[in-house]
Copies of this chain bind each other. A is one copy, B any other.
């Protein structure tokens, strides 16, 4: 019953097997190996973008920060939702890599910017000539940190607003797969076809050990990104082991299968919780994350039964039994129906 995060579970066995397979003999370092070429080709394929610049790094924060630095200037401000990972959970990595940019926080329900809130934020900048920051890239988190998902139309609408102001669009896809299968669309559908210019194609939260692809649909950014990656100390020497993971996840749509499993378990969990009158959802769970308020007594039972998850706003042990405390429940690819059932059964009891 581990619902703590999608980075606490095991790596998929096929990915581990791919790492073992990759460990044969010698391979050129720093991405000059055959597996890396294969991984790049497969990422281009899955994005239907044969000319895209594709580079691997081990961590999502690295991909985000390096992409945003490549797309911005230090005197600009990057637009993102108030609850974006790049703002809340990266300890100023974007500001570090982008050499002192600002982040302009955009409002919106369910951790989602709206075309209107984005336009207002964009209009409010660059009103003071050289004195204020200039407009920089817009970063969309898909799926959001709160487990919600932008529809394709919503993404296109945001991208249209961004482009109208001359701003490139980045998608932080740490949970790209969860969003993609939830929408039932392709990787291309969710990105360049609706105006996304660069994407962090996440693997680590979806069954890999530690790999993300940074994808630019305009390949002109490729060499700058490579230099930034090296200078940021993110160029792996034994690069084949990054590549092997990426190849494994793209083979036979494993990435979609894993995300589907995670989303499905999360859906079952949500359906079960919804039937309990004392559970209140903060957002409609659309991917693999639930934010829900549950009474302390329920938390206590679950904790005693060994369920693991974060309680965001209070102490489970002490306080009135009926006080509502906010739980974050995350399902990864390895979540079992048994665990979901067990969780629900304890909660119900």
Contact of A231 among B10, B96, B224, B241 (CB under 8 A): B96
A11 to B26, CA, bound (A): 10
**Contact partner of A93 among B2, B95, B209, B230, CB < 8 A?**
B230
In the bound complex, CA of A99 to CA of B93 (Å): 11
User: Contact: B58 with A236, CB < 8 Å?
Assistant: yes
The chain B residue sitting closest to A95, CB to CB, is: B100
Complex Cα–Cα for A131 and B93 (A): 10
Let me know if A8 is at the binding interface, CB within 8 A.
Answer: yes
A7 at interface, CB cutoff 8 A: yes
Q: A233 touching B232 by the CB < 8 A rule? A: yes
Which A152-184 residues have C-beta < 8 A from chain B? Answer: none
Tell me whether B26 and A16 are in contact (CB under 8 A). no
Give the size range of A's interface with the partner: 35 or more
Instruction: Give the Cβ gap from A90 to chain B, nearest Cβ, in Å.
Output: 7
Inter-chain contact B134/A227, CB cutoff 8 Å: yes
Given A75-B228, A99-B100, A134-B227, A233-B90 contact (CB < 8 Å): yes
Interfacial chain B residues near A226, Cβ < 8 Å: 130
Which residues 55-97 in A have Cβ within 8 Å of B in the complex?
58-59, 61-62, 64-66, 73-77, 88-93, 95-97
What residue of chain B has the Cβ atom nearest to residue A20's Cβ? B16
**Beta-carbon contact of B95 and A102 below 8 Å:** yes
B238–A204 contact, CB under 8 A?
Answer: yes
Secondary structure type dominating chain A contacts: loop
Is A131 touching B92 in the complex (CB atoms < 8 A)? no
The one of B16, B101, B130, B236 in contact with A95, judged by C-beta atoms closer than 8 angstroms, is B101
Closest to A3 in B: B26
The answer to whether the Cβ of A132 comes within 8 Å of any Cβ in the partner chain is yes
CA distance A88 to B227 in the complex (A): 14
Contact: B128 with A88, CB < 8 Å? yes
A237 within 8 A of B: yes
Given A29-B5, A210-B241: A61 and B101 interface contact (C-beta under 8 Å) = no
By a CB distance below 8 angstroms, the chain B residues around A188 are: none
Docked pose: A29 CA to B10 CA in angstroms: 11
Query: In angstroms, how far is the closest chain B Cβ from the Cβ of A33?
Result: 9
Q: Does A234 contact B (CB under 8 A)?
A: yes
14 contacts between A and B (CB under 8 A): A19-B209, A20-B20, A61-B230, A74-B231, A75-B227, A89-B128, A90-B231, A91-B134, A92-B102, A95-B95, A96-B231, A130-B230, A134-B227, A204-B238
A residues with CB within 8 A of B:
2, 4-5, 7-11, 16, 19-20, 23-30, 58-59, 61-62, 64-66, 73-77, 88-93, 95-103, 105, 128, 130-134, 204-205, 209-210, 224, 226-228, 230-238, 241, 308
User: Can you name 19 extra interface pairs (CB under 8 A) apart from A90-B233, A209-B241?
Assistant: A7-B237, A8-B27, A8-B29, A10-B24, A11-B238, A59-B235, A59-B237, A62-B234, A64-B233, A75-B228, A77-B92, A89-B132, A91-B132, A91-B133, A93-B230, A100-B231, A204-B238, A210-B236, A210-B241
The 6 A-B residue pairs whose C-beta atoms are closest, nearest first, are A62-B233, A7-B237, A95-B100, A61-B233, A2-B26, A91-B230
